[in-house]
Chain A
Amino acid sequence: MTMWSIIIIASLGCLALKVSGYLVPPSFMERPRPSRVANLLTVALLAALVATQTFGAGTEIVVDARVPALLLAAALFALRVPFILVIIAAAATAALLRLLY
């Protein structure tokens, strides 16, 4: 699989989902179950990505400078600091720790 084919297939898949929503009859919307699953799916995937992006190194689990950076990010999000500033703070924390140790 080439990088371009991954990008095109994934993009078309996401686009197809958006289009499909406009094609289903509005009555489907009244059911709480599909929207609940879709919402929790988003939560589960994002949480799993936080975990693998923080602790994963290939197929290993490691604890390194990313952990304190993520804890700082969590604190800043709790304080309602804007997204872009939190991202920069997390990157700077990890970079600084790597420079020092």
Chain B
Amino acid sequence: MARSTDDSTAIRQAVSVGAAVSAYGISFGALGVTAGLDIWQTCVLSLLMFSGGSQFALIGVLASGGVAAGPAAIAGAVLLGSRNAIYAMRMGPIIGRGWLRRAAASHLTIDESTAVSTAQQSLRAQRVGFWWTGILIFSGWNLSTLIGAFVGDALGDVSAYGLDAAAAAAFLGLLWPRLKELQPVVVAIAAAVVAAVLTPMLPAGLPVLAAAGVAVIVGLTNWLGVTQPHTLAEEVSADTIVTEDEHS
């Protein structure tokens, strides 16, 4: 039986997004081991946490503060994961009923699977887009993390190879697609300044958490925000990272 055009569009987008995201799992794997985790700890993060931003945040804080910065590292990773809860609310009606299906879907609920899914027209294509993207990235991300972890382990010393600069660039890459309006740009600059100013005063990890306060204040007051409030669907599709670029 031939697939509908809607379904093939969803699958094509899932494959292109999946390939792009999987490739940078290599940088996560390499940075994980240079942050002080062993190969298996790095891989367990990709399997169990499975959310790029949170994973990079956790190893970023552990790299500068070590195990002593554990609580701050956990808090940073979990706060960054809060957007996945919003994506899950959006995906709930699309995924449908059945606790097993919803449990599997919840683990695969990330930026990319939500973005590809919500970009589709029909409910069927939205489901196809979600599962294809989620499963492809889950497989690719975990495989490339393993490869990257072995590469990082073989490379050895961090700074000599510039991997610390790679970590900074990785965070910038995750931030970049979100800077399309004035409000997030102002929040980003203010948060960066707050974190840098507090770095000499607080233990590792805490300056990053303090910077989160900027988002809470601006978010609650909607300072510099658009007067027309965004619906969640618009917010999610605005996060489409690779799909728009490759299919426009």
Query: Which chain B residues border A14 with CB–CB below 8 Å?
Result: 49-51, 54, 77-78, 81, 84
Cβ B174 vs Cβ A3 within 8 A: no
Task: Return A43 CB to nearest CB of chain B, in Å.
Answer: 5
Contacts A43-B178, A45-B212, A93-B162: A13 and B81 contacting too (C-beta < 8 A)? yes
Cβ B215 vs Cβ A44 within 8 A: yes
Interface residues of A in 45-101 (CB under 8 A from B): 45-61, 65-66, 69-70, 73-74, 77, 80, 82-84, 86-96, 98
| B185, closest chain A residue (CB) | A43
Ordered by A's residue number, 14 sampled pairs between the chains whose C-beta atoms are within 8 Å are A1-B70, A3-B41, A7-B37, A36-B222, A36-B235, A45-B212, A51-B196, A56-B196, A65-B162, A77-B173, A87-B24, A90-B166, A95-B160, A98-B160
B15 at the interface (CB under 8 A from A): no
Q: How many residues of chain B have a CB within 8 Å of chain A?
A: 111
Task: Return B90 CB to nearest CB of chain A, in Å.
Answer: 7
B102 at the interface (CB under 8 A from A): yes
Cβ A53 vs Cβ B191 within 8 A: no
Task: Return A58 CB to nearest CB of chain B, in Å.
Answer: 7
B28-53 Cβ-contact flags toward A at 8 Å (1 or 0): 00000000111001001100111101
The answer, among A2, A24, A77, A93, for a CB contact under 8 Å with B172, is A77
Cβ A35 vs Cβ B215 within 8 A: no
Contacts A39-B178, A93-B162: A86 and B169 contacting too (C-beta < 8 A)? yes
B203 at the interface (CB under 8 A from A): yes
| A61, closest chain B residue (CB) | B199
Query: Which chain B residues border A82 with CB–CB below 8 Å?
Result: 20, 23
A1-34 Cβ-contact flags toward B at 8 Å (1 or 0): 1111111111111110111111010101110111
Contacts A52-B64, A73-B168: A18 and B194 contacting too (C-beta < 8 A)? no
Contacts A6-B74, A32-B230, A82-B20: A45 and B211 contacting too (C-beta < 8 A)? yes
Cβ B164 vs Cβ A40 within 8 A: no
Cβ A91 vs Cβ B166 within 8 A: yes
Query: Which chain B residues border A10 with CB–CB below 8 Å?
Result: 49, 54, 58, 73-74, 77-78
